[in-house]
Structures are given as structure tokens and as C-alpha cells.
């Protein structure tokens, strides 16, 4: 008898494969204005999922010590944000935020580039100044530079922001804060991933990774970004050291595809 659903098994296999790849790449993120100790505990509990731990949690600086205590021994890294979300603070203030976050136990710093100044560059040197100060304060910690590509919009401005971020020591290029209308897009991701590919060339001072954040909530979105990364940077490039998804709403979709079901509603921010 002919199988009435000949592609169902293949689709299930593909979904499992995507979810299996994506879950260890997830920066489980919660940056709502009403976060408290209870929501932080819940975030940390979700980070060690039935299918394995995510790469990191990303939360407000004031919750770093709590997350560090809750996640001790799990392998989940602690990420936080500085110059967030507007990207408008002075370099010395951003450096101060970075130093305090690291002293509290953060492993990774997600810093917003002064994206409003990108279109005026080089008449405004604020992007260089802020990122240089953050890099110095961060030392050997991972520095992810949030470009807010949805606001930059034009490829020429995204390319300029990428060049400034790479030159100032970015470990990752990140699409969005998740606080503006347009988050991650495949067009912006292509520009950013091409810079990641170029950083693999001999003589490059630092290898650069990519973080897609803002609006990625399902397996189709995860698949599209993973496929683009495989195409541009090579099929062996993607790992937690080079690629992240900044999201919380994505976790339930991944767990469902892996056979664990969705046990928690996505947060209202849907970062």
C-alpha cells in the first residue's frame, strides 16, 4: 500500500536535525523591563533543558550573580548587555559597565555599537571609541557587537558597521537588540557572515563569529540561518564558538522537534 504521507518521516528527520544543531547554539535571552529574581530563576532552569544545555543565558547585568550561582557546573555561559539598547552612552561609561559585569561573573559582553552615528562616520568617531573602550575593558572575555542592522537598513551602512566592529576586536557580529521593529534579516546576515568568512583567512587578527537575534522563533528561521552560514563559511564552521541564536521563543520549538514538547510559553519579548 502506498504511504499516504511519504515525506512525513523525512520532514521529522530534518526537523530533528535542525533542532539538534540549533539548541547548543542558543543564547537564551530575557531582557524585559519587568525581570526579577523569579524570572531569572526560570530562565536559568530552562537553560538546562531535557535535550541538553544551551550555549548561554543573556540577561540584565544586575542578575549576573544570581545566574552564576544557579548555573554553576552546567557549562552554560553568562552573557549580559552594555550600552543597551540605545547605543548612546559615553565610552568610559560603557567600559565601566563592562568591567562591573565581568567582576560580577559575566563570561560574555553584548555591546551595542553607536549605530545612530554609523551614517555620519568618519565625522563621528563614537563607534570606534565605544568599541575600543569595551574591548580594552573586556580583556579576553567574548565581545559580541550588536549592529542593530534593522535600523542601519542599507547594505552600505551595515558593511561600515561590520568593518568598524571587526577592526575594534569583535568576537561576534550580532544583528539586533530585539528592541526595534526590524530584527535579524537574511540580507544583513549575509553581509555579516561574509566578514566572518574573511576572518578565517591567514593573517587575520581575530576569527569572528555571528549571532542572529531578533525575531527568530521557529525551525524554519533556524534552518535558514544555519543554511546560510553553511553556504558562506563552510559546513564545518558552525559551533557555539562561532554561531549563536539570540532568542527565547525558539527554545520550545526546538524541544518539540526533539521530542520533549513545549513546556513553557515564550516570553512576551519574543527576543
Cα–Cα dist 259/52, whole Å: 13
Is 201 an annotated catalytic residue?
Answer: no
Is 211 an annotated catalytic residue?
Answer: yes
- Active-site residue (options: 27, 144, 174, 252): 174
Cα–Cα dist 14/173, whole Å: 27
- Active-site residue (options: 27, 128, 171, 211): 211
- Active-site residue (options: 27, 110, 128, 171): 110
Tell me the CA distances in angstroms from 253 to 218, 247, 269, one per residue in order. 6, 11, 16
Classify residue 24 by its DSSP letter: G
CA angle 263, 264, 267 (to 5 degrees): 160
Tell me the CA distances in angstroms from 104 to 20, 61, 63, 76, 78, one per residue in order. 32, 8, 9, 16, 10
Cα–Cα dist 26/19, whole Å: 10
Chain centroid to Cα 259, Å, comes to 25
- How many CA atoms within 13 Å lie on the side-chain side of 182? 13
Question: Which residues are catalytically annotated?
Answer: 110, 174, 211
Amino acid at each position: 500500500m502506498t504511504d499516504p504521507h511519504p515525506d512525513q518521516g523525512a520532514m521529522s528527520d530534518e526537523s530533528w536535525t535542525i533542532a539538534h544543531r540549533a539548541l547548543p547554539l542558543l543564547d537564551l535571552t530575557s531582557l524585559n523591563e519587568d525581570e526579577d529574581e523569579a524570572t531569572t530563576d526560570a530562565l536559568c532552569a530552562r537553560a538546562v533543558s531535557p535535550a541538553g544545555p544551551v550555549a548561554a543565558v543573556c540577561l540584565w547585568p544586575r542578575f549576573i550573580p544570581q545566574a552564576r550561582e544557579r548555573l554553576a557546573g552546567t557549562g552554560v555561559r553568562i552573557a549580559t548587555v552594555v550600552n543597551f539598547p540605545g547605543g548612546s552612552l559615553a565610552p568610559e561609561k560603557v567600559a565601566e559597565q563592562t568591567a562591573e559585569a565581568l567582576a560580577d561573573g559575566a563570561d560574555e559582553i553584548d555591546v551595542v555599537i553607536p549605530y545612530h552615528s554609523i551614517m555620519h562616520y568618519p565625522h563621528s568617531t563614537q563607534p570606534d571609541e565605544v568599541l575600543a573602550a569595551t574591548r580594552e575593558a573586556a580583556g579576553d572575555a567574548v565581545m559580541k557587537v550588536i549592529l542593530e542592522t534593522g535600523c542601519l537598513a542599507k547594505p552600505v551602512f551595515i558593511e561600515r558597521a561590520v568593518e568598524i566592529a571587526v577592526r575594534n576586536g569583535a568576537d561576534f557580529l550580532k544583528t539586533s537588540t530585539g528592541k526595534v521593529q526590524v530584527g535579524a534579516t537574511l540580507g544583513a546576515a549575509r553581509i555579516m557572515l561574509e566578514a566572518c568568512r574573511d576572518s578565517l583567512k591567514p593573517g587575520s587578527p581575530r576569527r569572528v563569529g555571528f549571532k542572529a537575534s531578533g525575531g527568530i522563533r521557529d525551525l524554519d528561521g533556524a534552518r535558514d540561518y544555519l543554511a546560510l552560514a553553511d553556504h558562506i563559511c563552510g559546513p564545518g564552521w558552525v559551533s557555539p564558538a562561532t554561531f549563536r541564536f539570540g532568542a527565547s521563543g525558539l527554545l520550545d520549538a526546538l524541544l518539540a522537534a526533539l521530542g520533549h514538547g513545549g513546556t513553557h510559553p515564550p516570553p512576551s519579548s519574543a527576543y
